[in-house]
A = this chain, B = another copy of it.
């Protein structure tokens, strides 16, 4: 349907949450679930994928939980989404050469290629660090607005 799934959306929320925590702070599934409004048991599955991909690190047992797996400025939006959804291809003809035999003469193929490139430019250029910063600026701006409304 040309739309990211809940998996992708929730993964972004979770990684973003971890990226915004103070260094060394361990977060529990419960915390992340409540703060980011993601069903707990569903989030649990998503965290497993993120852990296996290395984007987050987990520790089991008492005092266990999750921390971000790499510096937030090395994790892009695209990488986070693809960690749980698998690689993005806007059309099957982009999966690999020969996946669609029409690609050699199909005039639409290059358009999909370009569209995907443009999409990736956006998703690759935003890191989790950028987004944390953006969030704090939005918050500041919202607070300003509120003050002015009084």
Interface positions of A (Cβ within 8 A of B): 1-5, 8-9, 12, 16, 37, 77, 85, 88-92, 102, 104-108, 110-111, 114-115, 118-119, 121-123, 126, 131-132, 134-135, 138-139, 142
Residues of B within 8 A of A139 (CB): 105
Residues of B within 8 Å of A92, CB to CB, are 3, 9
| Residues in chain B near residue A1, CB distance under 8 A | 1, 5, 85
When distances are taken between beta carbons in the complex, the residues of chain B under 8 Å from A90 are 2-4
With both chains docked as a complex, state the minimum distance between the C-beta of A145 and any C-beta of chain B, in angstroms. Answer: 10
The 27 sampled A-B contact pairs (Cβ below 8 Å) are: A1-B85, A2-B4, A2-B90, A3-B89, A3-B91, A3-B92, A4-B90, A4-B91, A9-B91, A77-B108, A104-B142, A105-B135, A105-B139, A105-B142, A106-B135, A107-B131, A107-B132, A107-B138, A108-B131, A110-B134, A111-B122, A111-B126, A114-B122, A115-B122, A115-B123, A118-B119, A118-B122
A119 pairs with B115, CB closer than 8 A? yes
Expressed in whole angstroms, the minimum distance between the Cβ of A33 and any Cβ of chain B is 15
